[in-house]
Amino acid sequence: MKIAVCVKQVPDTWAEKKLRDDDSTLDREAADGVMNELDEYAVEEALRLIEAHGGEVVVVTMGPERAAETVRKALSMGADAGVHLVDDAFQGSDALATSYALAEVLSGRGFDLILFGSESTDARMSVVPAMVAERLGLPQVTFAQKVNVDGASVSIERLTEYGFDTVEAAMPAVISVVEKINEPRYPSFKGIMAAKKKPVETLTVADAGLDAAQLGLAAAWSTVAQFAARPPKAAGTVVTDEGDGGSKIAQYLSEQKFV
Amino acid sequence: MAEILTVVESANGAVKKVSLELLALAGKLGEPAAVWLGPGYSDEAGAVLAEHGAAKIYVADNADLVDYVVAPKAEALAQIMQTANPGAVLIASSAEGKEIAARLAVKTGSGVITDAVDVAADLTATQSVFGGSTIVQSKVTTGTPIITVRVNSIAPEAAPAAGTRVDVAVDVSEAAKSAKVTDRTVAAKGGRPELAEAAIVVSGGRGVNGADGFGVIEALADSLGAAVGASRAATDAGWYPHQYQVGQTGKTVSPQLYIANGISGAIQHRAGMQTSKTVIVVNKDPEAPIFELADFGVVGDLFSVVPQLTDEINKRKG
């Protein structure tokens, strides 16, 4: 089985994130880059699937030079090879452009499954897996809290607002995973050493045969007109409990007509 | 005036509140039309939609739309868009809503904006990003704007309209029927409102100190008719089920009232609740960053403050 895992380098989960003043895109320099947390779960799931069924895991990313760190992290967890789309022309690409580039690079490589984390911690749109499925005409089995592969078909438990749906599809298919699915492994020392020797294919827009006119900030189908920091919230009232803290909250809620 | 399509979400045949919110928003942008995707439409549901501004109600009564994941709904909408030629399409910012928007954007060559908290008459969307720390105004520049709107952002309004039913025979392709829903499992949730939609959310975090501690959180929630949420610390520790996690890796909520108990307020959590209208905080640690968001806060032990609050509320309810 051949599995692709699409990963994204994002600002550290715990860091304050901000937009750049010049072009209103994410300021990637302002914080350390880490692998998007939910993507670690996707890498882990891919590794578990090939441990059970055999095969290889290829990690795919689109991002600036330093996104190579994120590819390396996945390789040190156990992925076999990497593909890194890196080109200034990608800068500022929206979700539609990103899905275009990923779909083009993923197609024709014989993947049985294409895995994603269900959302990134920076943009939080949760749209790229569905867009890639749409572009490739593949079954979309997303928001998986459980994945089962059986022969040529895959079934998942798709997290819903009321519980979960069981969804079945024939492979190849596009999967996105939620945090509940597993517990990602830490790279071992051996894994980190081995990762240094694993192949990483670096592709520019031209190498990947992509149309530059469909990429980057200028090609985005939506634009940020302006942005501003949220005005700081007016300081509220904070009291220390002297045995009547609960009553004081009740009083406040009553004044605000909540009770 | 251009038609504004809004996609109806329903539960057991009843129109969800978010769909009425979308109609209220659509009323500011053009002529609101509702789109019912799947079986289960009734005159009662139609009356509710008409009452809240739907001039037209497109009904695509086709089981394929719910028996397969997302793709058929996007196809149906794309077909309806061809004839309706709408000024914009509004969809609830639920997990599925965003996926429908995603596929529809690719299909129709349109830009997509997710998690809008407001949309102006010129279709400029306001988004609250990075856990609510930044407010962004953005606009779709290509195709028909497809905008997903965060639940609880706009108040539903009574705006009686014709509610003319338009039946649509949608043609679902074989390709869209590739991910089949074979079973639906409804998790027990004890009669509380859905977390993402609830007007009031009562949450517990590390300070709750164990699964048993959530009893006081649930009791407070029930006194207010609220949903229960939990911080990642609490769900990771296994004290409360994962689907109730509020935060960057869990659900984003934007209720009228959010009561955070024993939650320190790391960015991971704030990202999921920062746009709540009123925030109440109970925490032992006066330095906890969550107090920065508090409209009213009590520094104290939640195990004495919360039960007292619950008693007071139950008393006031008489």
Question: pLDDT by residue (tens digit) across B140-158?
Answer: 999 999 999 999 899 999 9
Shortest Cα distance, chain A CAs vs residue B102, angstroms: 5
**Which residues of B are less than 8 Å from A120 in CB distance?**
none
C-alpha B293, offset from chain centre: 21
Q: Identify the pLDDT of residue B189.
A: 61
Evaluate whether A144 touches A156 at the Cβ level (below 8 Å). Answer: yes
Domain with CATH 3.40.50.620 in chain B: 3-177
Pick the CATH number of B200-317 from 3.30.70.360, 3.40.50.1220, 3.30.830.10, 3.40.50.300: 3.40.50.1220
**Chain B hits for A160, Cβ within 8 Å:** 95-96, 184
Looking at residue A26, its pLDDT comes to 86
Q: How confident is the model over A79-106, as a mean pLDDT?
A: 97
Class of the CATH domain delimited by A2-219 = alpha beta
Q: How confident is the model at residue B258 (pLDDT cuts 50, 70, 90)?
A: very high
Task: Please tell me the least confidently modeled range out of A44-58, B6-20, B242-256.
Answer: B242-256
Residue B173 scores a pLDDT above 80: yes
Calculated CA dihedral for residues B304, B305, B310, B314, nearest 10 degrees: 100
- Name the band, by pLDDT with cuts 50, 70 and 90, for residue A59: very high
Distance CA B283, CA A241 (A): 10
Total count of residues recorded for chain B: 318
Our separate counts of H helices and E strands in chain B read 9, 17
Which superfamily does CATH assign the domain made up of B3-177 to? Answer: HUPs (3.40.50.620)
Compute the mean pLDDT over every residue in chain B, rounded to the nearest whole number.
Answer: 95
User: Which ipTM value was assigned to this complex?
Assistant: 0.92
pLDDT at residue B109 greater than cutoff 80: yes
Candidates B99, B245, B270, B316: best to mutate against A (most CBs of A within 10 A) is: B99
Q: Could you tell me which of A147, A150, A144, A117 has the C-alpha nearest to residue A132?
A: A117
DSSP A65: G
Q: What pLDDT is attached to residue A22?
A: 87
Q: How far is B132 from chain A (nearest CA, A)?
A: 7
Predicted pLDDT at B190: 67
State the pLDDT at residue A104: 98
Read off the pLDDT band of B132 (50, 70, 90). Answer: confident
Say yes or no to pLDDT of B114 above 90.
yes
Cβ of residue A227 closer than 8 Å to a chain B Cβ: yes
Q: Where in chain B is the domain with CATH 3.40.50.1220?
A: 200-317
Mean pLDDT for the stretch of residues A220-242: 89
* Separation of first and last alpha carbons in chain A: 58
Local confidence band at B296 (pLDDT 50, 70, 90 cut-offs): very high
- A124 falls in which pLDDT band (50, 70, 90)? confident
Which helix (H) or strand (E) segment holds residue A169: the answer is strand A163-170
Residue from A134, A224, A247 whose CB has the most chain B CBs within 10 Å, to mutate: A134
CA angle A142, A120, B277 (to 5 degrees): 100
Give the span between the Cα atoms of B210 and A118, in whole angstroms. 28
